[in-house]
Amino acid sequence: MLSLDNWYAEPMRYWNVEEPAKLSGLPTNTTDILRRIREGLEESVKLTLRSDVPVGVALSGGIDSGAIAALAQKNSSEPVHAFSVGYPGRPSYDERDQAQALAKQLGMIFHEVELPVGSFVDFFPQLVRVMDEPIADSAAFGHYAVPKVAADLGIKVLLNGLGGDELFWGYPGVTQTVATNQILATSPLLNAILPLTASPGIQRFLSKVTRHPRVPSVCQRWASLLYGVRTLAKPVQHLHFPEAWPHFKETFAIKHMVYGPAMCAISEQNPFKPTDIGPRTVEQLPAAVIRLLFDTWLVSNCLSLGDRVSMSVGVETRLPFLDVRLIELVMALRRQQPDHMLGQKAWLRAALKDLLPEEVLARRKAGFQPPVWKWLSGVVARYGYDLHESSLTTVGILDPNRIDHVLKMSCHGLSSLYFAYKLVLLEEWHKGVVG
């Protein structure tokens, strides 16, 4: 805000997902709630279709992109172009067949984009430059390839389903985060027990319990709740978030191993604490978790990545699920009737009942699934040894004596491979910054 009296400028938040506009006449019965959500999404798609250049849709065949495709085709006078990614040999995670079947049913023009492993490894340094930030999302190459093919065909606007997972409880870890925080907020006994679980031995035991096939599911859930919750530094008004996500736990466990002197000198009390949000009532916690997801993962990974890779080829990506009116409608509806315990995307699935085929609505979330092991191991094998005499070791971010261990460890599991890949990507990005 800028004051005209003294020209004093003060940053102020003008919108908050936790505090949507006060909407009047909101329905309370399920039928009308679903109707309003469907109408809100369709209106958002109509707005994103406005263009003086051709518009296409990035289509996986799942619920989110399928909903956008169906509503786009319904509101278009011409067949809409749909683009889907696949891989050589059509492995089980290849989505082209299901995407093509849906596109055919909707009357769309279908294009498939095949991504060989070698293409990703060869393109890796250029991809890092395109992203312009060290975003270590293994799906980045696919997100780049689709708008690239669209641009080659003259499609300059691309709709996709990004935001559906974030708005409609698409990630199991997010609903687990809500449950964890609500339990901790209402259970003094559990809070008294938690400090006793912080020892490394207890944490190792709890980790085994969460994964052991013979342990009853209820015991696994409680072990998962206790595992990790007291092992991270926690400000007073801190939402417990990373503990619900296995890759957060694993990364926190090994990151200190590679720290160089410059990183070791940094205080653990980092000033950036997105989870330190102040007090919330139990009823306010679901919206607070959505806000945390929006402020971190959605902004720093999804939106930053999607915007950069599409604009690098001259394509504008539009995101109907992230229209502010739709977000405010959904958040206002769930303020008076919470939906986070109804199941993954319960409202969205029900709202799309007569729009998408049953096999699409019933399909479990798969996410974008490239051949991760082949892609990441190919990059680490080709570029990993650059870490030995890297700019990161020169400035003290990485310990040069731990590089060999990290590279050897990358062969022993996907989490270790991801960690090595992230360091290689960080080095490639850092070289561009300092070079």
The full DSSP string for 224-252 is: HHHTTTTTS---TTB---GGGSHHHHHHH
> Looking at 81-90, 182-191, 265-274, 348-357, which range is the least confident one?
265-274
> Looking at 170-174, 237-241, 301-305, which range is the least confident one?
237-241
Same-domain check for residues 212 and 74: no
Q: CB pairs under 8 A, 24+ apart, for 263-270? A: 263/396, 263/397, 263/398, 268/233, 269/233
Same-domain check for residues 59 and 113: yes
Instruction: Report whether pLDDT(297) > 50.
Output: yes
Helix residue ranges, H only, 132-243: 140-152, 164-167, 172-186, 188-193, 200-211, 217-226
Same-domain check for residues 271 and 336: no
79 lies in some domain: yes
Beta carbons within 10 angstroms of residue 304's beta carbon: 16
Same-domain check for residues 61 and 162: yes
Same-domain check for residues 149 and 277: no
Same-domain check for residues 324 and 404: no
155 lies in some domain: yes
CA–CA separation, 150 and 156 (whole Å) = 7
Same-domain check for residues 156 and 177: no
366 lies in some domain: no
Per-residue pLDDT reduced to its tens digit, 140-159: 999 999 999 999 999 999 99
Question: What CATH number corresponds to the domain at position 129?
Answer: 3.40.50.620
Instruction: Report whether pLDDT(294) > 50.
Output: yes
Q: What single string gives the DSSP state of each residue in 373-392?
A: HHHHHHHHHHHGGGGTT-HH
Structural domain containing residue 388:
372-434
Same-domain check for residues 378 and 333: no
Amino acid at 278: G
Q: Which residues of 258-280 are buried (b: 16+ CB within 10 A; e: fewer)?
A: bbbeebeeeeeeeeeeebebeeb
**Domain boundary, last residue among 266, 287, 308:** 287
How big is the CA angle at 112 (ends 110 and 114), to the nearest 5 degrees? 180
Domain count, the chain: 3
293 lies in some domain: no
Same-domain check for residues 205 and 265: yes
Residue 416, H or E segment: helix 414-434
φ and ψ of 238, to 5 deg: -105, 130
pLDDT, average across residues 60-75: 95
pLDDT averaged over every residue in the chain:
88
Up-side HSE of residue 168: CA atoms within 13 Å toward CB? Answer: 26
14 lies in some domain: no
**Domain boundary, last residue among 287, 316, 347:** 287
Give 49's pLDDT tier (boundaries 50, 70, 90).
very high
| Number of residues that make up the chain | 435
Same-domain check for residues 164 and 311: yes
Per-residue pLDDT reduced to its tens digit, 201-218: 887 888 788 778 888 877
Q: What is the pTM of this model?
A: 0.89
pLDDT, average across residues 322-345: 95
Taking a C-beta distance cutoff of 8 angstroms, is the pair 419, 430 a contact?
no
Give 255's pLDDT tier (boundaries 50, 70, 90).
confident
β-pair partners for 281: none
**Domain boundary, last residue among 230, 258, 287:** 287
Same-domain check for residues 196 and 239: yes
23 lies in some domain: no
Token pair belonging to 348: 């969205």
Same-domain check for residues 142 and 103: yes
8 lies in some domain: no
CA–CA separation, 336 and 27 (whole Å) = 9
50 lies in some domain: yes
Helix residue ranges, H only, 321-413: 324-336, 346-351, 358-361, 372-383, 391-394, 403-409
CA–CA separation, 163 and 170 (whole Å) = 9
Per-residue pLDDT reduced to its tens digit, 397-433: 999 999 999 999 888 888 889 999 999 999 999 998 8
